[in-house]
Structure 1
Amino acid sequence: MVITLVGEKLAKPGVEFIYYGPADPCKSCRLARVCVGNLEPGRRYKVVRVRNIEHSCPLHEGKVRVVEVVEPAIDVAVEPRIAVVGSKIKLSFVECNDPEKQDLVKPEGLFEGDLVKILEIVGDFECEGKKYKIVRVIREKE
């Protein structure tokens, strides 16, 4: 669980966002350490709890709220031989040049080489004549 700040409109349980890095005004903000200091650029986060604390912010239409976030489970295509529920694998993205399938091939929030745990197999996936499994994974901290 990570504590951070999000704009008032995003401060609802279940809302997911991807953190792309701090904006210029964040660099001199007194709240930067708790706001953006706890987040990793390129990672996906899901709001799980909203606290009753708010602060003014020049970026988020005036106010940000204190929230608790987690990295959610993400679906990704993998080789069938490694699609074993409960196993931990070092993520290796499969080859697929179809632009419409990139959300499963290289989903935002995961990086090649991440250690992930396979939670479930959610389906089958085919690209360029090769068959893959779609698995739901959660990133493991090394």
Structure 2
Amino acid sequence: MVITLVGEKLAKPGAEFIYYGPADPCKSCRLARVCVGNLEPGRRYKVVRVRNIEHSCPLHEGKVRVVEVVEPAIEIAIEPRIAIVGSKIKLSFVDCSDPEKQNLVRPEGLFEGDSVKILEILGDFECDGKKYKLARVMREKE
């Protein structure tokens, strides 16, 4: 669980966001260490708890709230031979030329080489004549 600050509109349990890095005003903000300092650029986060603390912020319509976030499970296409529920694998993106399926072969929030645990197999996935498994995975932190 990570403590961070998010804009008031995003401060709802279940809300997800991808952190892309600090904006210019964040670099001189006194709250930057707890706000953006706890997040990793390119990762997906999910708000699990909203605390009753708010601060002023020039970026988020004037206010940010203190929240607890986690990295959520993410759906991704993987090779069938490694699609075993409960196993931990080093993530290797599969090839797929269909632009509409890119969110399942290279989902935002995961990077090639990440260590992930396979939580669930959701079904089959096909692209470019190859069959894959659609899995829900959770990143394992080193």
Matches within 5 A, 1:105-116: 105-116=105-116
In structure 2, what residue type is equivalent to 1:86?
G
TM-score by length of 1: 1.00
Matches within 5 A, 1:85-124: 85-124=85-124
Q: Post-superposition shift, 1:123? A: 1.2
Instruction: For 2:134 and 2:92, locate their aligned partners in 1 and report how far apart those are by CA, in whole Å.
Output: 13
Paired position in structure 2 for 1:40: 40
TM-score by length of 2: 1.00
Deviations 1:40-93 (A, max 9, x none): 000000000000000000000000000000000000000000000000000000
Q: Post-superposition shift, 1:6? A: 0.1
Matches within 5 A, 1:1-142: 1-142=1-142
Alignment RMSD (CA, Å): 0.3
In structure 1, what residue type is equivalent to 2:141?
K
In structure 1, what residue type is equivalent to 2:86?
G
In structure 2, what residue type is equivalent to 1:40?
E
- Moved >2 Å (runs of 4+): none
SS at structure 2 position matched to 1:40: coil
- Percent identity reads 89
Q: Structure 2: which 5+ residue stretches go unaligned?
A: none
Instruction: For 1:108 and 1:124, locate their aligned partners in 2 and report how far apart those are by CA, in whole Å.
Output: 20
Q: Structure 1: which 5+ residue stretches go unaligned?
A: none
Instruction: For 1:118 and 1:98, locate their aligned partners in 2 and report how far apart those are by CA, in whole Å.
Output: 24
Instruction: For 2:51 and 2:79, locate their aligned partners in 1 and report how far apart those are by CA, in whole Å.
Output: 41
